[in-house]
Amino acid sequence: KDTETQVTVSKDTGTQVTATQNTEIKDPIETQDERLLSVDFAALFGHIRLVELILTFYTQHSRSTPKQSRNMLFRAVHFGSFDALKLLLKHKTYTNEEISDALYLATQKRDAKCMEVLLSLKVPVTQMTLNMNLYHLLCLVSTQPEINTGITDLMNNQSRLAECFKVLIKYSHDVNSRVPDRTYPLYSLIWAIFSKIFNEDSDNSEDLRSTVEDGLQCLENLLNAGADPNFNETAAATYSNEETLIISGRLAFPSALVCVVYKIYDQVINNTVDNALRCPGNDSTRVQIDQFVVEVFEVLLQHGAKLHIPDRDPHMESLTDPLGFILMTLLMCDKANPANGCSINCHFIKPLIDLLELVLVNGGNLEKMTNPQCAASIDISTLS
């Protein structure tokens, strides 16, 4: 409780009349109208002991108490206090394990500011992530619900995925990390973004647009930092190792283009695509997905992605390359009839086919494709 003094002016006498009343202090745990936690204020004024006391209080009153809760760095990240984290690191030396635990949590929470502070300490991270690179870990958690701290979030500290990728690139995390199997950052990103898009609420165009923009920015970040869109992940993957598949959470791919097309194929063949996407009424959502598929292909092709990548997987005995094989299967699944022309029902496949045809006509020359005289740009809104 706090005593608040109110001063009013009497209309009759013009004199000030004071009165006191007891008002309850709004605790960050219970309210949503504040912009900073009390621990942030304590940290901003440099009260280290008060910061520790408040973090302890939060931990005791949270719905879930992690096993690392005695680690003050972990607590600061857990409750999203960037200022408290900086103050703690300034006043005390922490072990590599304590820093690693906090960094792992910051990655799971997609808190780019906390990630950057902890990454600057250059503590090894492979042990805490089961040897997975942090790009892959970010992609895994991006499709999962935000971690529940047990305290109502007063500020949404969850950063865009692209901001977290920029931090990792800044601190020289390898964009071509290949160990363990099926954790190559570029393919993990494509897998995660398409998974999220196909599972978004088809009526929420704002969320879909945000996911699309974030995904494209991440893609550009990785490719500009030197990620190889033609890395044959299947050649390195150990298919007999089921444990690796469980850890990585996805399949291996011979190229980035195959990864994109396979993800579409996976949604279609397993009937997991929202039926609304096939209905003419939901044009806005369909157009956004169409445009995203085309833009992803364009970005990959502009960064040297190859259309023909022979698959060295010994289990793949087809006479065609993986990209062509999956596209052919997609068309057949969607009841395309080669005798009567290509009739494609699944809306987001057609712009992809049109784009590939355009690439083949221009011999894979992206400079020629971008020439306006060659009619390279595809108007998604006109596609039926």
Say which amino acid occupies 86: K
Tell me if 292 sits within 8 A of 210, measured CB to CB: no
Looking from the CA of 195 toward its CB, the CA atoms found within 13 Å total 15
Q: 46: left (phi > 0), else alpha (psi -120 to 50), else beta?
A: left
Tell me the pTM.
Answer: 0.76
**CA–CA distances in Å: residue 342 to residues 263, 330, 337, 350, 383:** 21, 12, 6, 9, 14
Tell me if 378 sits within 8 A of 355, measured CB to CB: yes
Rounded to whole angstroms, the Cα distance separating 5 from 173 reads 55
pLDDT per residue as tens, the chain (384 positions):
333 333 343 444 444 433 333 333 334 433 343 457 789 999 999 999 999 999 998 888 776 656 557 789 999 999 889 999 999 999 999 999 999 999 999 999 999 999 999 999 998 887 777 788 999 999 998 887 665 555 544 344 568 899 999 999 999 999 999 888 889 999 999 999 998 887 765 556 778 888 899 999 999 999 999 999 999 888 776 554 555 555 677 888 989 998 998 888 777 666 545 444 444 446 677 778 888 888 998 899 999 998 776 555 555 544 456 676 677 776 666 566 666 555 555 555 666 677 666 666 665 555 444 443 333 344 434 433
The domain spans of the chain are 37-164, 174-384
Q: In the 3-class helix/strand/coil scheme, how is 12-45 assigned residue by residue?
A: CCCCEEEEEEEECCCCCCCCCCCCCCHHHHHHHC
Q: Identify the architecture of domain 37-164 in CATH.
A: Alpha Horseshoe (1.25)
The three-state secondary structure class of 225 is coil
